[in-house]
Chains A and B, each alone.
Chain A
Amino acid sequence: MYEGVVQRLIDELGLLPGVGPKSAQRIAFHVLAADPVDVKRLAHVLLEVKEKVRFCRICGNVAAEEECRICRDPRRDPHVICVVEESKDVVAIEKTREFRGRYHVLGGAISPIEGVGPDDLRIRELMTRLADGEVTELILATDPNLEGEATATYLARLLKPMGLKVTRLASGLPVGGDLEYADEVTLGRAFEGRRLLDV
């Protein structure tokens, strides 16, 4: 145990995800040794991020204003929406530069164990966005694990009566990998999702 505020700093840091007691102590002493200007800047950014950043009114992505950069961008295709679990998934997909439509961030996946049901996700907001008929295709890009799959199935069933084109991201072999190193589940999925080779 350290005295007073040092221990409090360690305790607070220890609450962050991925930071154990040892790391918390290391970060705390780094802060103690650091230039006061640097520490002020960090403190300022921490406060600012809580004050200024909000979630996009339309898609639920993190945004600096009421609507996020992507939803405001007129060059993005308004007919396609890609549904993801978290904001960090948006960043991952943006990096591919493959997708030119817009996003919808659910804020998680259905998981009864953690008490997360459809009502806890931004599904109602998604339905509102689809109401005016401008969107024609929905890409379900939830994680390829049980909870992500269940969420995708749930959405697909919910959306079926609307007559939209609903697609699911393919799962299968990693590009640049070797077939022999793929596990059976992935390889099995890749077989299921095989496609015709156009030549």
Chain B
Amino acid sequence: MHVAHLSLTDFRSYAEVELPLEPGVTALVGPNGHGKTNLIEAIGYVATHGSHRVASDAPLVRHGAARAIVRAAIVHEDRRALVELEINPGRANRARLNRSPVPRPRDVLGMLRTVLFAPEDLAMVKGDPAERRRFLDDLLVARAPRFAGVRADYERVLKQRNALLRSAAKSGRTRAGALPTLDVWDSHLSRAGAELLGARLELVAALRPLVATAYSALAPSSGAAEFDYKCSTELPDTTDREVLAAALQAGLAAVRSNELERGITLVGPHRDELALRLGPLPARGYASHGESWSYALALRLAAYELLRADAGDPVLILDDVFAELDTQRRARLADFVAPAEQVLITAAVPEDVPPRLAGARYDITEATATRTP
């Protein structure tokens, strides 16, 4: 699939911009702070309904404007769809598909699928476990949008259960009184958690060979990229949701007194970790800067392969990543991404883009895009 046209109204620094795009490589070139990343952030927003840079929607709306509008014409196997999103910070966003309103914005999730490489990706290797959980969950949603609901359900149960634990921990009172309700939340948390956990375990198994292949191509002289899913409680070797739910419930029961003391939920997918390794060593703390970059790229490339196998090429977006890589890694990454249906690249200077990825080019200065032949 590819994006054939992007148009923005009051998005970030853009009051109004029209950007016709084609399949193949397009580079957005311009000085930092002039709005390259804003453009691809908008494309990412159409795909995920979130920004890769900020957690809330408020910064996406141009200063002084009430709402931002992102329109993308998406071509997938000769079918053209127009997705429009109206971003209303603090209120519900609205979405239209081919000019007709849809009941909920998430009904247009999945119309555009993207894989985004950004300097922030380094945090997947060097950062907290939360970064790796987000990588897995975002990929689940990208593959099957219904996981947006699964994820939201789990977070809601978790919030309720934490609130109960907190009040029980604080007052110390009626611990006995809180227990029967805690049992209820345990069963709801286990069921919602098992759904998420099972999907993650299946995803990790699917990613394993793809990450290993991509990593060894990017960094042939380094150790093998391997990883394990470390659950916050002991799991049987299965992805059967009923069995997982029972295991989570048992795990919760085992830590209950500790939970009541601390006032937080200690078992569940929100406490799990995707432990990355390079050979025998944990990647976090042991991998060099270059190895960490290769690992992050390998994770993204594996996600790309997976999405591609599901339903054809997703749009590849490379936000300012070449500047971070040495010549060898640049060239290897270019080999991987060159065959994709559409590749969008941002770079401060055109020399950062490897020759293999020569294509169309826009110069971005002061929030205007000019096509450069």
Contacts and interface: CB of A to CB of B under 8 A. Distances in A.
A149 B177 contact: no
B98 interface: no
B184 A184 contact: no
Given A112-B160, A153-B187, A146 B181 contact: no
A112 B163 contact: yes
B188 A154 contact: no
Contact of B180 (A112, A118, A183, A184): A118
B245 to A, nearest CB: 14
Interface residues of B, number: 21
A157 B185 CA distance: 12
Contacts of B163: 112-113
B180 A154 contact: yes
User: Chain A contact residues: over half helix, strand or loop, or mixed?
Assistant: helix
A184 B188 contact: no
A119 B177 contact: yes
Interface in B177-223: 177-178, 180-181, 183-185, 187-188
B188 A112 contact: no
A46 interface: no
Q: Is the interface of B mostly helix, strand, loop or mixed?
A: helix
A147 B161 CA distance: 11
B50 to A, nearest CB: 20
Contacts of B180: 118, 154, 157-158
A117 B177 contact: yes
A146 B164 CA distance: 14
B181 A154 contact: yes
Contacts of A112: 160-161, 163-164, 167, 181, 185
Contact of B188 (A115, A117, A153): A153
Contacts of B181: 110, 112, 117-118, 150, 154
Nearest to B150: A185
A37 B294 CA distance: 79
A111 B149 CA distance: 20
Interface string B133-176: 00000000000001001000100110111011001000000100
Interface string A158-188: 1000000000000000000000000111000
Nearest to B182: A112
Given A118-B180, A158-B180, A150 B185 contact: yes
Contacts of B177: 117-119
Give the interface centre of A112, A118, A147 by most chain B CB atoms within 10 Å.
Answer: A112
9 shortest A-B CB distances, which residue pairs? A112-B164, A112-B163, A184-B146, A113-B163, A154-B184, A153-B184, A150-B184, A112-B160, A146-B156
5 contacts: A112-B181, A118-B180, A153-B184, A157-B184, A183-B149
Given A117-B181, A118-B177, 17 more contacts: A110-B181, A112-B160, A112-B161, A112-B181, A112-B185, A113-B163, A118-B180, A146-B157, A149-B188, A150-B160, A153-B184, A153-B187, A153-B188, A154-B181, A157-B180, A157-B184, A185-B149
